[in-house]
């Protein structure tokens, strides 16, 4: 559900959609993590002898690999180390436990590939301008049009002129005042 909510936020760029993503992510972390590690059964679940987390993909992808992927995605959009660190730690756990059967870990390997070569995030602010849409194949573009207390990388001024910032996990470059300025950087 968090993966779909994050994809929807990227499409809409609405603050309320981001708030829903953050609420889902924090609920997942609160309910399913212990000592900075995610588990398959939640804290409110009955006491088990052992809490095993399926790491291999079967009929559905590994829940831990998918949770890692979506936390890393949210962390990359926001530049938020909390989500990035938890996503990385759990991805490492999956890969370490499944190191002798990597063929059964396609979800985790796909997430590792994304982490090694992340798509930059293009944050566009201001009025809708179709000339910026051509970058959609090269980057993940989010168009913010409303004033709000945006967290992390999304905390950009929104005015009457369209501007853009190119962000990675660590930092943002910009603002770029025109698509041509951004093209020179890509």
pLDDT at 91: 78
pLDDT at 54 over 90: no
pLDDT at 61: 66
Q: Which of 40, 48, 38 is nearest to 71 (CA)?
A: 38
- List pLDDT tens digits, range 64-82: 777 888 888 899 899 998 8
Please give the C-alpha separations between residue 132 and each of 45, 140, 167, in angstroms, as whole numbers.
Answer: 47, 12, 15
Mean pLDDT of 91-103: 69
pLDDT at 43 over 60: no
pLDDT at 143: 93
pLDDT at 129: 84
pLDDT at 47: 59
Q: Name 112's Cβ contacts closer than 8 Å, sequence gap at least 6.
A: 91, 95
pLDDT at 100: 63
Mean pLDDT of 138-162: 90
pLDDT at 32 over 70: no
pLDDT at 42 over 90: no
How would residue 162 be classed by pLDDT, with cut points 50, 70 and 90? very high
Q: List residues bridging with 142 in a β-sheet.
A: 123
pLDDT at 177: 92
Mean pLDDT of 14-23: 94
Residues 38 and 52: beta-carbon distance below 8 Å? no
Q: What is the CA radius of gyration of the chain?
A: 18
pLDDT at 151: 93
DSSP-derived secondary structure for 98-159:
TTT-GGG-HHHHHHHHHHHSPPPEEEEESS--GGGGGGGGTSEEEEE-S-----GGG-----
pLDDT at 148 over 70: yes
Residues 142 and 122: beta-carbon distance below 8 Å? yes
**43 vs 106 pLDDT, higher one:** 106
């Amino acid at each position: 559900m968090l993966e779909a909510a994050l994809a929807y936020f990227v499409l809409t760029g609405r603050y309320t959609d981001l708030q829903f993503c953050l609420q889902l992510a924090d609920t997942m972390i609160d309910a399913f993590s212990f000592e900075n590690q995610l588990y398959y059964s939640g804290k409110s679940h009955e006491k088990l002898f052992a809490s095993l987390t399926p790491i291999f993909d079967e009929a559905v992808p590994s829940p831990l690999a998918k949770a890692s992927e979506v936390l890393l995605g949210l962390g990359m959009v926001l530049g938020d180390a909390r989500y990035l660190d938890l996503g990385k730690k759990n991805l490492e756990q999956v890969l370490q436990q499944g190191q002798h059967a990597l063929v059964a870990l396609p979800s985790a390997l796909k997430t590792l590939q994304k982490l090694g070569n992340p798509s930059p995030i293009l944050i566009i602010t201001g009025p809708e301008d179709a000339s910026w849409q051509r970058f959609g194949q090269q980057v993940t573009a989010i168009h913010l049009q409303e004033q709000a207390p945006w967290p992390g990388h999304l905390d950009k001024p929104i005015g009457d002129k369209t501007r853009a910032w190119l962000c990675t996990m660590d930092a943002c470059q910009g603002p770029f005042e025109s698509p041509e300025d951004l093209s020179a950087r890509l």
